[in-house]
Structure 1
Amino acid sequence: MTSISLQRLCLFVFLFSTIFSNSQEFQGKAFYMSKTSVDMSNFGRPNMTEEQRKRMEDRLKTMFQKTFVLTFNRTESVYKLEEKLEAPGQRGGRFTAIMGGAVDGVKYKNVKDKALLNELELFGKLFLVKEDLPKLEWKITGETKQIGGYTCNKATAIKTWKDFDLTALRRQPAREENEENNETVEEEEQPKIEVTAWYTMQIPVNQGPGDYWGLPGLILEVNTDDTTILCSKIILNPEDKATIKRPTKGKVVSKEEYVEIATQKFQEMRENFRRGGQRGGRG
């Protein structure tokens, strides 16, 4: 082997090792603003004044506008609420007290193992919701747009699962009343929620916010019927790399088990507040 060939071989090995090393160490952070709209017509008392309804609506808007941080590498990611100081006077109120029992935790995704772990705190008790990573059948439309300097492609899918949300607080009492009256309780139909996602192949990782993944690039925006998740900032290969670890704390339950536990707890809280209000009114 000539000296020139040997030099070329050494250069090739060096370049291959550098590319592989960078690939293994690649990491990024994406910041997302999540906004969820809530149908206010089903909330509050029938005799609630417009001023009271407006205050509740403002609290709900604040409660459902959150900033999350997605820390990711090529196979794993951790999605969690960005820690912020609470503004003075932001807490308080019956509804805030009820919903304050649920605390957003860490959501871990592993696209290689198809694992999804969600660490959640409910009224002081820690749960680890464990399930297979849900898969969406994405259809790439060919449309493109710019998001923060990144060229994004559009994809759509139909989501057939629904996370625990405030509608559970309205459905449960109605179901219990029907059961007490021996009325037929119809099983709820499988939800079919249209999802629109925008992803960029400039960041070729199979990751995204929340439960979303499965596209050939980082998902920067997600839209459903009532929620918009939009990326506001991206940091690639930060100097201070974070450790992406599987959460291990909490009682291990399935999503179905957690939904049942959470629904029961919120129902108990609502009944306690209702009884307290009735006693206060009579006094």
Structure 2
Amino acid sequence: MTTITRILTLILIGVISSVNAQDFQGVGTYRTHRDFDIKMDSTKMNDAMQKRMMEMMKKQFQKTYTLTFDKSSSLYKQEAELDKPQVGGGFQMSFGNSGSDVFYKNIKLRTYVDQKETMGKKFLIKDSISPIEWKLESDTKHIGEYMCFKATYTKQVPKVNMNFSSFSSVDDDNEEEKEPEMTERTITAWYTPQIPVSNGPAKYQGLPGLILEIHDGKLTVICSKIVINPEDKIEIEEPMKGKEVTQKEYDDIMDKKLKK
């Protein structure tokens, strides 16, 4: 598809969509999963236990979220779920949020409110939405009934080496703090101008249409269902419970807790 044809297609779809966008609302169901590349010490954990551990960790990241949205705001919330499977001996690993977290975005005011419950304490993270320098690509594909376009951007992220083969007994407080090694990551999004909102799951936003699919490193987020203008009117309310902090203040608090 040539650039001119693509632009004309986007404009046409946008015009058609905007005509039907009065009092526009929607509900999207998103599912997430994460791939793992973890090294484990075979002398301390047999093959069967390693396999069970890997399967359990994968299931911890297989979550379902609901994105309720209108033209200017959205709420992204994890659906309630049963307890995750346990490893032998009753040991259970838990990653991510507890299911009570709510992420609110106001794309018109370019602000967000992230209500989190971490280590038994509720936080209300309020901050500005950072602009994403998306590169619009020429690739297209269908997700369900929606024509989607590809967009990418790159960012610097800390390089993480998940190695369970050994655990250091050295007191980290006595070690000189080192800057984390950084690496470049390309994030890929698929968005549809047929749904005229510059929004998406979690913090992803800023494209000329709703984001239906995200590939961010080993994390994949895919929309499995969308209901446009449901019969029951949607109420999108900013979360209010928790200690109010900025994103940097919250990151500093979590960094100190992890070091302890």
TM-score, length of structure 2 as denominator length: 0.79
* Secondary structure of 2:55's aligned partner: helix
Residue 62 of structure 1 is matched in structure 2 by 59
Residue 11 of structure 2 is matched in structure 1 by none
Residue in structure 1 matching 2:223, options 228, 231, 235: 231
Shift of 1:23: 4.2
* 1:188-242 deviation digits (Å, cap 9, x = unpaired): 2555321111111111111101110001101111112211111100000001122
Alignment of 1:113-262 (within 5 A): 113-160=109-156, 177=171, 180=174, 182=175, 184-189=176-181, 191-262=183-254
Q: How many residues align?
A: 237
- Asked whether the equivalents of residues 35 and 66 of structure 1 are also in contact (C-alpha less than 8 Å), the reply is yes
Residue 108 of structure 2 is matched in structure 1 by 112
The whole-number CA distance in structure 1 between the counterparts of 2:181 and 2:73 is 33
Residue in structure 1 matching 2:27, options 18, 24, 29: 29
- More helix, by proportion: 1
- Asked whether the equivalents of residues 126 and 249 of structure 1 are also in contact (C-alpha less than 8 Å), the reply is yes
Residue 40 of structure 1 is matched in structure 2 by 38
* Secondary structure of 2:250's aligned partner: helix
Shift of 1:110: 0.8
What letter matches 2:59 in structure 1?
Answer: T
- Asked whether the equivalents of residues 60 and 95 of structure 2 are also in contact (C-alpha less than 8 Å), the reply is no
The whole-number CA distance in structure 1 between the counterparts of 2:185 and 2:92 is 27
Alignment of 1:63-78 (within 5 A): 63-78=60-75
The whole-number CA distance in structure 1 between the counterparts of 2:126 and 2:116 is 11
* 1:66-112 deviation digits (Å, cap 9, x = unpaired): 1111000001000010223x16x73564452xx36942400011111
Greater radius of gyration (CA): 1
User: Structure 1: which 5+ residue stretches go unaligned?
Assistant: 1-18, 269-283
The whole-number CA distance in structure 2 between the counterparts of 1:179 and 1:68 is 38
What letter matches 1:245 in structure 2?
Answer: E
- Asked whether the equivalents of residues 78 and 244 of structure 1 are also in contact (C-alpha less than 8 Å), the reply is yes
* Secondary structure of 2:39's aligned partner: helix
* 1:140-161 deviation digits (Å, cap 9, x = unpaired): 1111111101100111111346
How high is the sequence identity, in percent, across the aligned residues?
A: 39
- Asked whether the equivalents of residues 37 and 64 of structure 1 are also in contact (C-alpha less than 8 Å), the reply is no
- Asked whether the equivalents of residues 86 and 92 of structure 2 are also in contact (C-alpha less than 8 Å), the reply is no
User: Structure 2: which 5+ residue stretches go unaligned?
Assistant: 1-17
